[in-house]
């Protein structure tokens, strides 16, 4: 889980301030990437399911694709950020 931005101590050097700024930017980037995974997984797999439903003339592949996309998204987030 991303940590909130940490303010630099008042007696920090310029190098320490720069290192802290880079750390905060990395954490913010990680949060946006996780959100992107959560959105694109169900959209992509749901879209594939919708195409399969249209091709096969059924109605079950879209919900299955959405659930599978969410599962893949959560796995990727866990694999990328939970194993660090």
Domain for residue 52, yes or no?
Answer: yes
* CA–CA distance, 73 with 67 (Å, rounded to integer): 10
Residue 44: its pLDDT value, please? 97
Residue 29: its pLDDT value, please? 82
Residue 8: its pLDDT value, please? 60
Cβ neighbors of 37 (< 8 A, separation 6 or more) are 73, 76, 77
Domain for residue 42, yes or no?
Answer: yes
* CA–CA distance, 31 with 5 (Å, rounded to integer): 12
What pLDDT tens digit does each residue of the chain (84 aa) get?
556 666 666 667 888 888 888 887 877 788 888 999 999 999 999 999 999 999 999 999 999 999 999 999 999 999 988 876
* pTM (2 d.p.): 0.71
Domain for residue 8, yes or no?
Answer: no
Alpha helices, DSSP H, located in the chain? 14-56, 61-77
Number of domains in the chain: 1
Residue 25: its pLDDT value, please? 81
* CA–CA distance, 62 with 79 (Å, rounded to integer): 25
For residue 32, the enclosing domain spans 14-82
């Amino acid at each position: 889980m991303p940590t909130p931005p940490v303010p630099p101590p008042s007696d920090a050097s310029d190098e320490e301030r720069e290192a802290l700024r880079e750390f905060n930017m990395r954490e913010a980037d990680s949060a946006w990437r996780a959100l992107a995974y959560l959105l694109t997984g169900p959209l992509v797999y749901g879209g594939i399911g919708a195409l399969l439903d249209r091709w096969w003339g059924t109605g079950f592949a879209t919900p299955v694709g959405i659930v599978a996309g969410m599962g893949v998204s959560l796995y990727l987030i866990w694999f990328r950020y939970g194993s660090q």
